[in-house]
Amino acid sequence: MRVRPNPARSDALQAVSAERKPVDALAFGMMILICMLWGFQHVTMKLAAPHISLVMQAGVRSIVATLLLLLWARLRGIALFRRDGTLGSGLLAGLLFGWEFFFTYAGLQYTGAARMTVFINTAPCLTALGLAAFIPEERLGLRRWMGILMAFSGVALAFADGFAAPGKAGLLGDAFGLASALLWAATTVLIRTTKLAAVSAEKTLFYQLAVSAVMLPAVSVAMGEPGFVSMTAAVAVIVVYQGAIVAFASYLAWFWLLTKYLAARLKAIVFLSPMFGVVSAHLVLGEPISAAFLGAAAMVAAGIVLVNLPGR
């Protein structure tokens, strides 16, 4: 069903888009660091899994990040609870975010960290499709359609590689990775096309972390996960890494970038995240990487670049 255009809403979206600028040196450097952090996080999830069950890990990291964000907002005088008409879209963003990380963490029970990283990072291509439906400036040309086709050809190749592996449990994990990517893309589109686009990065992130901090531990308990099994210094470091560095600092930086720069241009750099993830999973976890899977990862990365490179 085709959505009937709303002229007033379209003008507002164009005004918001006009305030964003192309990627400069600061944004590029921040995105490189963010991609490294995101690529490595799936490795830490696997490392901590024997000590803290996976979905509970997701809940703990959201709790840690929410508390840090509340402290950050208090110190900087940022209003998180002021009425501004974003409650409905904010809660929806929180639910999308929470289920995204449910599928990410739960999927790692069945598939490798490298594979999960690649499947999740199809999100930029899915985002491009979603944004094109709502924002005229994000419409898809021939090059971007070619990028989407290349990325999803890479996904098909990765799935074929999974079929060749012994057992089929990994395919479920791969499907969870794609579900996570779809939810990530939906969250980004929601933020860009609602009043969330005009609020602070801290408030946008707070909605997502706070909802997931309540939701994910409850889902873990409902699933019958063992939760906390043991705690060592290394596991504590991983909890801090996931909660303070990734879920708080890197996401705050990411949502700040989304309020200042064109989302599609930022996502052109996200192709580095699956590369960092594949390499770190191989070096740290010793995950085997087939030639077919490397080719699939390269196709996904190339597709992201084609989809999101700025035009002339």
pTM of the entire structure?
A: 0.82
How high is the mean pLDDT of the chain? 84
Nearest to 141 by CA among 312, 307, 10: 307
In this prediction, residue 154 has a pLDDT band, given cuts at 50, 70 and 90, of confident
Which of 8-12, 195-199, 294-298 is modeled with the greatest confidence? Answer: 195-199
Give the pLDDT score at 68: 96
* pLDDT at residue 273, rounded to an integer: 82
State the DSSP H helix or E strand holding residue 106, giving kind and residue range, or none if neither: helix 87-107
User: Per-domain residue ranges for the chain?
Assistant: 42-308
The larger pLDDT score, comparing residue 152 to residue 199, is at 199
The SS3 assignment for 223 reads helix
For the segment 239-283, what is each residue's pLDDT rounded down to a tens digit? Answer: 999 999 999 999 888 878 877 887 667 766 777 888 888 889 989
For tokens 């409902």, what's the residue? Answer: 222
Q: What is the pLDDT of residue 293?
A: 81
pLDDT value of residue 130: 85
Distances (CA, A) of 207 to 85, 179, 203, 262: 13, 21, 6, 22
What share of the chain has pLDDT > 70, as a percent? 88
Confidence (pLDDT) at 198: 87
Is the CB of residue 117 less than 8 Å from the CB of residue 281? yes
Q: What is the structure's pLDDT at 260?
A: 81
- Cβ atoms of 229 and 53 closer than 8 Å: yes
Q: pLDDT tens-digit profile of 93-135?
A: 999 999 999 999 999 999 888 888 888 888 878 888 888 888 7
Question: What is the tens place of the pLDDT at every residue in 34-79?
Answer: 999 988 999 999 999 999 999 999 999 999 999 999 999 999 999 9
Tens of pLDDT along 5-30? 333 333 444 444 446 777 788 888 89
Cβ proximity of 50 and 151 under 8 Å? no
